[in-house]
Structure 1
């Protein structure tokens, strides 16, 4: 079996995944900070992903191995599971079924899990939630399952929209309670629409860029949930939130990742 090992970071992994699929990878997985790409033969790779290492490994059914190692993820009142593990969801927990695929967001990454936990800690009944950078749709779907009146997921990658929509259907969320669209805040779309909660699993530089847009998209005093932030870049996010008048900033860490919550400016 021919496996290409590529160092991955949160900021670059989705672009790297797309390039590896385009290069002919038959499967992808993350393990110990590496993206492992399975190929039938050695391929010529673009410069953006050429710093990896080719390895010959013993043949195995990588899909069977992936399924065998994937476990349910408990995040507050939600347990995130692939379809074949739904029976393992404990009584009293709400199952959120995600089919692992090209869009990240199975719940196994610390950033996704912390964001779902933060949503689970809120009273979302009757609330309108915005998920910026929705990916697989897991955070918007979680919000709907937790009682949100409506959840909107935005992503600049059009390939994620049908995946997120399918995941919502798998979880039985009616179309009227969740919607996904291509786009993002701060891209020139004029809208007076505001939300009761905003969650964004992006990275520090984007949070810095979008902090003003977050404030404009939230009703005064509403919760903001940000993750995808490496510990070394926490100051950048905190400075941006202070600049835009956010209050009640709290920080929670998990390894090299942090989740930041805050409340929108009063005016």
Structure 2
């Protein structure tokens, strides 16, 4: 049976960093899907896991510097596959990489990635994922050891495999993303991609040639020292999930860690930046 969901529709002033803070706090309460909007945030949780009093008690609501209004609605049971079939359109990145659902017809392209996104982040439609795909298309991943942090649907780990990477680790803290990535790596015939549920604390002594981290500004700033430790000399790190206004903060932190800025893409005010370890 398809579970019933509760939807929270937040109007936030300012939208950032409020949306990032809310996502982090609501995730801890069991919310498993988020959509950032121009005016705020949509957040969804299975009805059986919903704790309305716990939401009201979040400390962010007590901060007088923030203005937060929201509506709560029960979402009718949804067949997510039917919803995606109706709303998810295939995309083509740089004319060589198609991202499509299983129900879309295959086009003649260099890279054909099949994603059953369900409620996970990372279909390629969001600006951050799109830019990370662009960066990967410009890199030689042959025989590289790759880490995809905040893997979402697994799309970037899969593309790294298509680009020649032979040892790929994909990690996401969200249980739904963890399961969805497992499904998608098998669907695209890359079962050797190792998928884990958790955060940067899972990283041990293994070293990587390439790290992909499409998360959010605060988590990036927190975890960059961990990434630097596991990145090989002359290794590349691709960062996204933050706005152009935050690029200077990311550059400053990376510079402190010996990660040299190379270049960046901009799409819809989001940034996808490339750094190299000297």
Q: TM (normalized to structure 2)? A: 0.75
Say what the alpha-carbon RMSD is for the aligned residues: 3.4
Post-superposition offset of 1:200: 0.3
Q: 1:14 to 1:248 in 2, by over 3 A?
A: closer
1:111 to 128, 136, 139: 128
Q: 1:98 to 1:10 in 2, by over 3 A?
A: farther
2:196 to 181, 193, 205: 181
State whether residues 75 and 114 of structure 1, in contact with CA within 8 Å, keep that contact through their aligned partners in structure 2: no
Post-superposition offset of 1:241: 0.8
User: In the comparison of the two structures, how many residue pairs are matched?
Assistant: 250
For the residues of structure 2 that align with 1:120 and 1:263, how far apart are their CA atoms?
Answer: 17
State whether residues 98 and 109 of structure 2, in contact with CA within 8 Å, keep that contact through their aligned partners in structure 1: no
Query: Which stretch of structure 1 is more off in the superposition, 13-22 or 66-75?
Result: 13-22
For the residues of structure 1 that align with 2:225 and 2:183, how far apart are their CA atoms?
Answer: 31
Post-superposition offset of 1:97: 1.3
Query: Which stretch of structure 1 is more off in the superposition, 92-101 or 196-205?
Result: 92-101
- The structure carrying a bigger strand percent of its residues is 2
State whether residues 11 and 203 of structure 1, in contact with CA within 8 Å, keep that contact through their aligned partners in structure 2: no
2:267 is the counterpart of 1:254:
yes
Cα deviation, 1:92-138, whole Å, max 9, x if unaligned, reads 23221111223211221111111111111111111111111222222
Aligned pairs (5 A) from 1:118-133: 118-133=135-150
1:5 to 6, 9, 15: 9
State whether residues 154 and 182 of structure 1, in contact with CA within 8 Å, keep that contact through their aligned partners in structure 2: yes
Q: Give 4+ residue runs of structure 1 displaced > 6 Å after superposition.
A: none
Cα deviation, 1:187-225, whole Å, max 9, x if unaligned, reads 37541x211111100111222222222222122112110
Aligned pairs (5 A) from 1:188-227: 190-191=204-205, 193-227=206-240
2:93 is the counterpart of 1:70:
no
In the alignment, structure 2 segments of 5+ residues that lack a partner are 1-5, 62-67
In the alignment, structure 1 segments of 5+ residues that lack a partner are 23-27
For the residues of structure 1 that align with 2:25 and 2:83, how far apart are their CA atoms?
Answer: 25
Post-superposition offset of 1:237: 0.5
Cα deviation, 1:22-72, whole Å, max 9, x if unaligned, reads 8xxxxx7848444276999xx873325984225799x9x885555323211
For the residues of structure 2 that align with 1:211 and 1:37, how far apart are their CA atoms?
Answer: 29
2:152 is the counterpart of 1:135:
yes
**Structure 2 equivalent of residue 25 of structure 1:** none
